[in-house]
Amino acid sequence: MNFLPGKRLIKAFISFVSAVVILIINLLNPIPKPFVPEPEIVEPYTGPTMTIAQNGQSEYKIIRGQNCSPSEKYAAEVLQDYLRQISGVTIPIFTDVEPASEKEIVVGRTNREGIAGYTVDRALLGDEGLTVKTVGKRVVIAGGEKRGTLYGVFAFLEEALGCRWFTSTLIHIPQASQMKIPAELNFTQKPYFEYRETDWISPRDKLYSMANRQNGNVYRKLSEEQGGNVGYVGNFAHTLTNNFVSASKYFDEHPEYFALGAVTGVRSPDQLCLTNPDVLRIVIEEVRALLATSSGDGNIVSLTQHDNQNYCVCDNCKSVDKYEDSHAGTMIHFANAVADAIKDEYPNVAIDTFAYQYTQKPPAHVVPRSNVIVRLCSINCCFVHPIDDPFCVEDVTNNIAFNKDLMTWKRICNRLYIWDYTLNSTHLVGPFNNFGVMQRNLQHFAENNVKGVYEQGNFLASESNAEFAELKAYLLCRLLWNPYLDYDKTMNEFLKAYYGAGWQYVREYINMTMKHSGKYGFHVSIFRRMTHPGVFSLTTRQVEYCNELWTKAAELSENETHLRHVKMSELSWRYWKACNKRSEFSRLRRRENWRAEHETLYKDYQKYGITRCGEHSLFSTNPDFYSTPDKWR
């Protein structure tokens, strides 16, 4: 007779083996030494200076052009306002009709150029480049007349006077009775990307966006005096069936306009048949009508597929895609045809389309027209390893395939944009530890002919700000302007202002979890469950170490605002622990103990206004506290 051990014996054996494995891991990964922050060393500026104002007085004037652009007029006013906030002195604004004097702050294009010892190469700077320099005792802030001079004012306030726009409500403006600047200022900046956009919370604010050089129009509309936008006329995603050939209008009488679905096997209303000539005619007519009635705040029209895999497999579409060896074949042929139809009437307008999921692979033959933008979407990538990591591949994420397609698209596409991802869409309140790749990925895009980037963040953060929403927004804004900035300095400046005296403990937590993310061949997608070891793998001792870091950060909070920020950010850490049944949420504790911890966690979500756990999921109003919080939907 075969002997089969009982279930209890099997469970006991498994528990014993698990305990031994955990013990070995703990021995091999001892708890780090207690973290003691090193004192921050700030090297004071010791070079020569110029005094702009002191003791409530200033000998300076702000000079703008008599016929300057609306944004340069506004730039002079912004400068005047912030100099007043810093020094208490309102420096008067004059036009360049005013006779030249030695002590001037010249803003934008004026008659001072060429006669006051300086020139500005606006052909080099374009619409958005800027230059800031001192010429004798004169300060020159100039740049592209559309946005460059305005950006130059914010750059001057940052570089010369230490102002920062960390969030829409956390703005650092130094106070100084004696306002001095370096006497040898001389820097020029140009953006690496022509289009820069992210969402989160603060990037929706107009002042924050201008100060941090966001020029997209999806989340804010800037007036002409605020520099306007680079962006989309109408909607910017999934537009073909939502905005141009809608099923409600056409499907009943003309099902042939819609895809013979690869998934459904029948004509379906959620994608178009892109080889149908009537579809092309209707879209061209609709694009012209949209442009004729637009307010002029954008110059890109999005013709993009819907968010599913039900592309058309009719004979004509199959033939084109087979010839092109990619489903992008029909899409690019279609976008080219629309672009050709409008180029003479609207020479400054571009047609935009996706390289997304089934259209990610570039076509073999057709090349996008010069007025076609292709937005390559990184949705299938891993975000704990850089996109150019030559070893990052698994069944769900594939950086190697994406990078290969990027290399081909950059050769054939004149205006290549990227739709990048910086959130866990399924677990908005959980950690998404991509701090180690944000800078490298944007550098990689800049080095490979990418002209514009949309960094999709947690656009629902106002309902789910339990992670580092404002930190990531700030870092992304700064990196989109300059991917080669001092990343650690930029992050640390934010952390110090946002969390107060305990900021270095928050930074240590970020470093600790970042170090242990994506280890042992695991990868992290934007849909990865919180229990996946790639998110981060920590021993019991390391978990307790991270707990201590958050405790210390809270203890050192200097005011209620800092404490609130610490407690809100810690919620993502608590979510991870609860999902993984670690620490206070361990099932080794009494059942009612960890259930009570779940209830406390839920009450803290309510306290801090957090109502959403995923992109498509609100927290239940009556959760089961015996289940983990990823189930409270």
Could you tell me whether strands 450-456 and 195-198 are parallel, antiparallel, or unpaired per DSSP bridges?
A: parallel
Check pLDDT > 50 for residue 1: no
Model confidence pLDDT, tens digit, residues 3-60? 445 655 665 565 555 556 555 655 565 566 778 787 777 777 788 999 999 999 999 9
pLDDT for position 298:
87
Rounded percentage of the chain residues whose pLDDT exceeds 70:
95
Rounded percentage of the chain residues whose pLDDT exceeds 90:
91
Helix axes 560-580, 540-555, angle to 10 degrees: 160
pLDDT for position 3:
42
Check pLDDT > 70 for residue 507: yes
How does DSSP assign 384-433, residue by residue? SS-TT-TT-B-SS-BHHHHHHHHHHHHHH-SEEEEEEE-S-SS-TTS---
Residue 24, classified by CB atoms within 10 Å of its CB into exposed (0-12), middle (13-18) or buried (19+), is exposed
Say if CB 248 and CB 256 are below 8 A apart: no
Among 27-31, 272-276, 422-426, 553-557, the minimum mean pLDDT is found in 27-31
Write down the domain spans for the chain: 49-190, 234-348
Mean pLDDT of 492-509: 98
Mean pLDDT of 55-68: 97
Say if CB 248 and CB 263 are below 8 A apart: no
State which amino acid sits at residue 263: V
Work out the pLDDT band at 586, boundaries 50, 70, 90: very high
How much is the pTM? Answer: 0.93
pLDDT for position 16:
59
Say if CB 145 and CB 130 are below 8 A apart: no
For 287, left (φ over 0), alpha (ψ -120 to 50), or beta?
alpha
Element holding 592 (H helix, E strand):
helix 591-607
Say if CB 570 and CB 465 are below 8 A apart: no
Check pLDDT > 80 for residue 222: yes
Coil/strand/helix, residue 226:
coil
Model confidence pLDDT, tens digit, residues 469-495? 999 999 999 999 999 999 999 999 999
What 8-state DSSP symbol labels residue 34?
P
Rounded to whole angstroms, the Cα distance separating 327 from 299 reads: 26
Model confidence pLDDT, tens digit, residues 413-451? 999 999 999 999 999 999 999 999 999 999 999 999 999
Work out the pLDDT band at 519, boundaries 50, 70, 90: confident
Could you tell me whether strands 300-302 and 350-355 are parallel, antiparallel, or unpaired per DSSP bridges?
A: parallel
C-alpha closest to that of 367 among 328, 317, 315, 316: 328
Model confidence pLDDT, tens digit, residues 123-179? 999 999 999 999 999 999 999 999 999 999 999 999 999 999 999 999 999 999 999
Mean pLDDT of 232-260: 97
Coil/strand/helix, residue 134:
strand
Q: Give the C-alpha distances (Å, rounded to integers) separating 607 from 273, 378, 552, 564, 569.
A: 49, 35, 21, 10, 13
**Dihedral pair phi/psi, residue 274, rounded to 5°:** -80, -5
Could you tell me whether strands 617-618 and 612-614 are parallel, antiparallel, or unpaired per DSSP bridges?
A: antiparallel
Determine how many CB atoms are found less than 10 A away from the CB of residue 232. 23
Residue 549, classified by CB atoms within 10 Å of its CB into exposed (0-12), middle (13-18) or buried (19+), is buried
What 8-state DSSP symbol labels residue 583?
G
C-alpha closest to that of 410 among 355, 450, 453: 450
Check pLDDT > 50 for residue 385: yes
94 forms beta bridges with 63
* Helix runs in 115-261, H state only: 122-125, 148-159, 206-211, 247-250
Model confidence pLDDT, tens digit, residues 316-347? 999 999 999 999 999 999 999 999 999 999 99
Check pLDDT > 60 for residue 517: yes
How does DSSP assign 536-589, residue by residue? ----HHHHHHHHHHHHHHHHT--SHHHHHHHHHHHHHHHHHHHHHT-GGG-TTS
Model confidence pLDDT, tens digit, residues 521-536? 899 999 999 999 999 9
- Count the residues in the chain: 633
Q: Is the CATH number of domain 49-190 3.40.50.720? A: no
Check pLDDT > 80 for residue 77: yes
